[in-house]
Amino acid sequence: MSDKITVYQKPTCNKCRETLGLLKERGIEFESVNYYETPVTKVELKSLLEKLGISAHELLRKGEAVYRDLEIGKRDLSDDELIDLMIEHPDLMQRPIVVRGDKAVLARPIENVCELL
């Protein structure tokens, strides 16, 4: 696999920093996208979900204050509605997401990244 690696991350996230460190340690070139500074679009997020092979519901960070404040767990929301909420509130997205070609993994645990290397 020779496709470029892209890491969607938040700089203050420990798992994100560990993932970036692992890639640097192994000498692997990658592009880092801080999706708080460069928000993902709806099309991009749908593509990421497809590459991850999961639903929008599975990408949610259920422990976040915004998840509780918006009472997401008590509402019957479609994937499109959840995607819109994740774009509006990036804290709702699990991270980091590592993409290579047409595959992606959540680097939780960090060993998941090895599937793409």
- pLDDT at residue 1 tops 70: no
| 42-95 pLDDT tens trace | 999 999 999 999 999 999 999 999 999 999 999 999 999 999 999 999 999 999
Q: What is the distance between the alpha carbons of residues 24 and 18, in angstroms, rounded to a whole number?
A: 10
Task: Supply the pTM of this predicted model.
Answer: 0.93
Catalytic (active-site) positions: 13
CA distances, 34 to each of 10, 31, 68, 96, 106 (Å): 5, 10, 24, 10, 15
Q: What is the distance between the alpha carbons of residues 92 and 35, in angstroms, rounded to a whole number?
A: 12
SS3 52: helix
Q: What is the distance between the alpha carbons of residues 7 and 32, in angstroms, rounded to a whole number?
A: 5
Q: What is the distance between the alpha carbons of residues 88 and 101, in angstroms, rounded to a whole number?
A: 26
Share of the chain above pLDDT 90, in %: 97
Mean pLDDT of the chain: 95
Enclosing domain of residue 79: 5-116
Question: Looking at residue 93, which CATH number applies to its domain?
Answer: 3.40.30.10
pLDDT at 2: 56
